[in-house]
Amino acid sequence: MTESAATIQKALDESLEYARPYIEKGKVATYIPELANGNSRHIGASVLTMQGECFNSGDWQQQFTIQSIAKTISLILALKLAGEKEIFSKVGVEPTGDAFNSIVRLETKTHFPLNPMINAGAIVVASCCAEHSGSSSAAFEEFLTLARKLCGNKSITMDEKVFMSEKTVGMRNRSMAYFLQGEGVLSCEAEEAVDLYFRMCSTLANTRDLAHYALVLAGNGKCPFSGEVLVEEWMVRIVKTLMITCGMYDGSGEFAIKVGIPGKSGVGGGIMAMAENNMGIATFGPSLNSKGNSVGGLIIMEQLSQKLGLHLFSGNVYYQTPKIDLISPA
């Protein structure tokens, strides 16, 4: 192992162990019954570099549903199928400051969702995928094909139990979808859009898979291992910009200050983030704070950012281990 590789592995292991005691401050998501079965003590992380090095720690092999991280993949698919002009005629690009499942802005500000990273926006994006693929089932197959390429794993699939669990209790998302259909924003029927959205969120991955995806984004859409361009650069620019402004729900500003790289979280416990032209990072910990972000994952991300000088405005300065004050207890 090279000196630089040893430095990254040490930083990853230390960051994970530093974060471990904090996971007691959070709780697993319970509004989706199947997610309530998650082990709150799980915590894992992976880092992939442009040099082809892979570093793992903790419960990195544990699979989990990517939930809202799927919104970044579905947006890429929609941009491929429908184009930028059509997508952003139906969805905005501004942060909301509201919870990811809030419906209030649709009634009080604009019937167009403010960005694709909130549930309402993701449902509209899913409807565009369904329209241009011919059906929601065809769109999901295209989504899976894309997800497998981005994650570097041909075995990526959907968790049927989580999908059925979301479908059974997802009344708020249905409310959004029917409201959007009533306003003429959806490109397909409300039930079809919501069904596709639930399937996308129920996609399974581990941290190594998501770190590979993050590395593709860090390389502006090119897979550093195969050399294949998986996503056009203009699409990557849009996705990464939305991640840094909206990717961590209503905790995006705090994440931008504390970690300082584009990131996207999901209530399944995953966080994926990337350091430009450098590395892809992913963490897993189903114990969440009050904003729906992984307690352990947030601390690992902040620790790695500071230990490895990843913050966009850090100037690659190596920091001593800081006192952590990032956690908002659930």
Classify the C-alpha dihedral 262-125-67-224 as positive or negative: negative
Is residue 213 annotated as part of the catalytic site, yes or no? Answer: no
Q: Look-up: residue for tokens 């990811």?
A: 100
Is residue 68 annotated as part of the catalytic site, yes or no? Answer: yes
Burial of 309 (0-12, 13-18, 19+ CB in 10 A): middle
DSSP state of 32: S
Q: Which of 47, 57, 71, 187 is catalytic?
A: 71
Q: Please give the single-letter amino acid code of residue 305.
A: S
* Long-range CB contacts for residues 79-83, cutoff 8 Å, separation at least 24: 79/235, 79/238, 80/146, 80/235, 81/128, 81/129, 81/132, 81/133, 81/142, 82/128, 82/129, 82/131, 82/132
- Sequence-distant (≥ 6) Cβ neighbours of residue 56 within 8 angstroms: 12, 44, 45, 46, 47, 207, 208
Q: Which of 18, 22, 213, 249 is catalytic?
A: 249
Q: Look-up: residue for tokens 């963490």?
A: 283
Task: Label the pairing between strands 44-49 and 279-284.
Answer: antiparallel
| Nearest residue to 268 via CA among 210, 193, 326, 214 | 210
Q: Which of 15, 46, 57, 68 is catalytic?
A: 68
Is residue 197 annotated as part of the catalytic site, yes or no? Answer: yes
Q: Which of 231, 239, 267, 295 is catalytic?
A: 267
Q: Which of 47, 57, 90, 197 is catalytic?
A: 197
Give dist(CA 267, CA 73) in Å, integer: 16
Active centre residues (catalytic) = 68, 71, 197, 249, 267
